[in-house]
Structure 1
Amino acid sequence: MEKRSKRNLLEELTKIISESLKNNVFSGCSIGYLNFEKGKAYQHTHHFGCTDRHEEGRRVDKATIYDLASLTKPLVTALSVMTLVEKGKLRLEDELGKYFNEIRSEIGMIRLSMLLSHSSGLPAHKPYYKVLAECQQSDRNEAIVRLICSENLVFQPGSNTLYSDLGFILLGCLLEKITKKSLADFWQEEIAQPMGLQKKLFFPGPGDLGSEVYAVTGVCNWSGKRLCGIVHDDNCRMLGGVAGHAGLFGTASGVLSLLENLLLQYRGIKKHPAYGADILREFLTKRSGSTWTYGFDTPSLGTSSSGRLFSATTVGHLGFTGTSFWLDIAKGLAIVLLTNRVLMGDDPAPIRRLRPLLHDTIMKYLTKDEDPIEQN
């Protein structure tokens, strides 16, 4: 990519994001993109605004850490399930009842593949935190499994698609049951650390870093604490900040680096000790009759937040806090947008308008002079 085009791209991004900051879409954001030139990967990140409203926080920079919200689903939970499938400890066709003996309803017949592809029939979301508040912290995982398994299904498992937090909460609980470790520890040890990402992507604990490096997402509605290094999702927060549907935090370069690793692993250029390229390809392949792979979304024709220029071999995900990523496997490109849009209000319309504009703006530059990835 020529230096002039990079400069022009930054000028366009600055114009777009300055308007968003002026309109209080978020207080700050980080944009990252990955492209390949002459077979080598290059990461670029740009940072705008502040970590809190009205410049009460510090300026956003490369060290700013965001609540990644539902990016946890593909990047943590799906990859963790994939690792256990690779090791033979889980099978995609396994039913939930095999692992949770207490399930006596038709929910016990839901297959793991259905949970991963949002075709289980479970409801999208329930405010379980209100009930969990009455339980001891150590009892809350078991309690939320019981609560989910008492729900009525929206449709017969496998017959339709409905994006569901509940399915990924169950997957997180299942992973902890099988590994006998917290989801955070298993993911860090098996997946993140071998890629050197443990300092860029993690589930925050009480002693992790200083609060000034986190983008603020609001105030806890029962404790009154600022959500700064504390997960925004109410159910996840009540579960201690670690769950299968939310809880991961990270930097823009951290998300980009994970996507770069996935791309190189997919193409057989790089290897991961916990899983192979074949199963990664399976997990990143769109399921028949759905926009979902196992844990990852794909662009919807004509209406995708990814814009108009990603190819059909693209996977990605959105996060409620104002985060997203899209990885174009065929073109060898990725774009990451991290914001704290929930700090400024509940209306999702402004970020919905921003996402496709931003992605198209970056993709026009990234696809000017494409270079194929060198295959070994």
Structure 2
Amino acid sequence: MANFTTIKTSFCAFLLSVSCTGTLLGQANTFAPNGSLQQAGLDSVLIYQSVDSIMQTSIQAQAFPGANLLVVKNGKTIFHKAYGYHTYDSLVPVGRNDVYDLASVTKITGPLPALMKLHGEGKLDLDAPFSNYWKPWKKRKDKKELTFREVLAHQAGLTPYIIFLNEAMRKGALKKRWFSTTPKKGYVQVYTDLYIKNQFRNKVYRMVNRSKVSVEKKYKYSGLTFLLYPEIIENLTGSDYEAYLQHEFYGPLGMETFGFNPKSKGIKAPIVPTEVDTLFRHDLTHEWVHDENAALLGGVSGNAGLFGSASDLAKLMQLYVQMGESKGKRYIAESTLKEFTRIQYPENENRRGLGFDKPLIGNDTLSIAKAYPAPKASPESFGHAGFTGTFVWADPKNQLVFIFLSNRVYPSRGHRELYNLNVRGALQQLFYE
């Protein structure tokens, strides 16, 4: 733990006129975990003081109004504490069981476990053309030969992102041909008193199908196909995407807060708000998905849309650490998880696994300021980050799960201190040091 002084000093250097000492902001919400820091070989006093200090300075710097941090070691929760408030008005303190908009963490907790299960069952060939599973690409010269492996590893040269909201609005107003303020047949709800025509989904698909592909095949992150995976999964399973995930994973694992559109699920746990939307909802986005593309699909997507608590998220991440098995039940084939979580194209300087993010190549040689994630995360580790301020990471070699949930986009996505201060890397490195 001697290196923490260096970590803390470098972290504090980012903060202007903010001290790394003092009392905690808000009501700290902690509990007695089922494991202990001492059993994990960690100095509990130093860990709590250090984490508290980093969290406090981050909140003061407005990196986020509040956050949840949960760490699992050897299958036992050794740290779980909540900090700050839902918003900067300090009215609602963050609780350990609060539910967050997971943003892009959805990618590895929604479609990916389903795709891995299907691969293990022999229903999905990673080296077959993606067009075998998404038929419209058969007619696209630039896409018909792209393999599922290339697509999942972000090695296919696909367009990174499309703002579909531009197709749903004109001069800052929602197009009446797509939206209704009252429930109607053939419409799906996207927000309070706002509904979109189901046919808009077909427009999304057409735009993805027609999107450009780079001639040069190199690492380029693209979330477009994650909009397609729910329908691909439904075609392969014959089951509704949401229902399949609930039946195969969330239900059996006891993930009670996990799911899409929590507003309609009657979840009792408090839901943390995200951004004050100035684009089309013109309201504080609360209990509805933050991501505009997922919202236009009715909140159920593969790129974003999942909500859940840190504790429930830990159950799925621990399943990954245990290579697809939990409490004697096999959910995903071990060989499949090993394949999905290894770097696919290192020769192209592409660090990605299949759907999963991985440490930078040579990460262990980098300083904490340049590393991603923490320098001491093993090369076998994997995870994903989310735009709203979420981050999950699993390390099978060290039997460690690290979960950080925040709403850094409150009140606007311009708040980037979470990245500038490298808060998550500093916190994660603590538990390795």
2:49 to 11, 36, 45: 11
- CA offset at residue 97 of structure 1? 2.5
2:224 to 157, 166, 174: 166
Assess, with a 3 A threshold, how the Cα gap between structure 1 residues 337 and 238 changes in structure 2: closer, same or farther. Answer: same
Q: Which residue is equivalent to 2:80?
A: 45
Q: List per-residue Cα deviations over 1:130-189 (Å, max 9, x = no partner).
A: 325654532233221110111111344xx2111111122222332233334442222111
- CA offset at residue 226 of structure 1? 2.4
Q: Which residue is equivalent to 2:63?
A: 25
CA contact (8 A) 1:328 1:334 kept: yes
CA contact (8 A) 2:114 2:245 kept: yes
CA contact (8 A) 2:384 2:392 kept: yes
Distance in 2 separating the partners of 1:206 and 1:338: 19
Distance in 2 separating the partners of 1:309 and 1:12: 18
The residue identity in structure 2 corresponding to 1:59 is P
1:89 to 94, 111, 123: 123
The residue identity in structure 2 corresponding to 1:280 is L
CA contact (8 A) 1:137 1:240 kept: no
Q: Which residue is equivalent to 1:373?
A: none
Structure with greater helix percent: 1
Distance in 2 separating the partners of 1:2 and 1:205: 37
Assess, with a 3 A threshold, how the Cα gap between structure 1 residues 261 and 269 changes in structure 2: closer, same or farther. Answer: closer
Distance in 2 separating the partners of 1:109 and 1:297: 24
Spell out the pairing of 1:207-286 with structure 2 (5 A cutoff).
207-209=264-266, 213-220=270-277, 221-265=279-323, 271-286=328-343
Distance in 2 separating the partners of 1:13 and 1:260: 22
The residue identity in structure 2 corresponding to 1:111 is T
Q: Which residue is equivalent to 2:426?
A: 357
1:64 aligns with 2:133: no
Matched residue SS, 1:44: strand
Q: List per-residue Cα deviations over 1:235-268 (Å, max 9, x = no partner).
A: 00111111111111111111212111221235x6
1:177 aligns with 2:202: no
Q: Which residue is equivalent to 2:391?
A: 324
The residue identity in structure 1 corresponding to 2:281 is S
Moved over 6 A (4+): none
Spell out the pairing of 1:290-301 with structure 2 (5 A cutoff).
290-300=350-360, 301=363
Q: Which moved more, 1:6-15 or 1:236-245?
A: 6-15
Q: Which residue is equivalent to 2:198?
A: 138
CA contact (8 A) 2:263 2:288 kept: no
CA contact (8 A) 1:271 1:277 kept: no
Matched residue SS, 2:136: coil
Assess, with a 3 A threshold, how the Cα gap between structure 1 residues 287 and 96 changes in structure 2: closer, same or farther. Answer: closer
CA contact (8 A) 1:28 1:215 kept: no
Matched residue SS, 1:130: helix
CA contact (8 A) 2:55 2:83 kept: yes
Matched residue SS, 2:286: coil
Q: Which moved more, 1:88-97 or 1:288-297?
A: 88-97
| Higher Cα radius of gyration | 2
The residue identity in structure 2 corresponding to 1:363 is Y
Q: Which residue is equivalent to 1:147?
A: 207
Q: What's the Cα RMSD here?
A: 2.3
Spell out the pairing of 1:89-108 with structure 2 (5 A cutoff).
89-103=123-137, 104-105=139-140, 106-108=142-144
Distance in 2 separating the partners of 1:322 and 1:207: 23
Assess, with a 3 A threshold, how the Cα gap between structure 1 residues 272 and 278 changes in structure 2: closer, same or farther. Answer: farther
Q: Which residue is equivalent to 2:5?
A: none
Q: Which residue is equivalent to 2:90?
A: 55
Distance in 2 separating the partners of 1:155 and 1:351: 35
- CA offset at residue 288 of structure 1? 3.0
Distance in 1 separating the partners of 2:135 and 2:43: 59
Distance in 2 separating the partners of 1:356 and 1:336: 12
Q: Which residue is equivalent to 1:335?
A: 402
Assess, with a 3 A threshold, how the Cα gap between structure 1 residues 270 and 276 changes in structure 2: closer, same or farther. Answer: farther
CA contact (8 A) 1:27 1:344 kept: no
1:76 to 77, 93, 110: 110
CA contact (8 A) 2:391 2:404 kept: yes
The residue identity in structure 1 corresponding to 2:83 is F
Residue segments in structure 2 that go unaligned for 5+ positions in a row? 1-36, 169-174, 179-195
Distance in 2 separating the partners of 1:222 and 1:50: 26
Structure with the greater relative contact order (CA < 8 A, sep ≥ 6): 1 or 2?
A: 1
Distance in 1 separating the partners of 2:386 and 2:268: 21
CA contact (8 A) 1:217 1:342 kept: yes
The residue identity in structure 1 corresponding to 2:396 is I
Residue segments in structure 1 that go unaligned for 5+ positions in a row? 365-376
TM-score by length of 1: 0.87
Distance in 2 separating the partners of 1:141 and 1:89: 25
Distance in 2 separating the partners of 1:174 and 1:93: 16
Assess, with a 3 A threshold, how the Cα gap between structure 1 residues 102 and 314 changes in structure 2: closer, same or farther. Answer: closer
Distance in 2 separating the partners of 1:305 and 1:180: 39
The residue identity in structure 2 corresponding to 1:9 is I
Distance in 2 separating the partners of 1:139 and 1:86: 33
CA contact (8 A) 2:262 2:307 kept: no
Assess, with a 3 A threshold, how the Cα gap between structure 1 residues 274 and 312 changes in structure 2: closer, same or farther. Answer: closer
- CA offset at residue 349 of structure 1? 4.1
TM-score by length of 2: 0.76
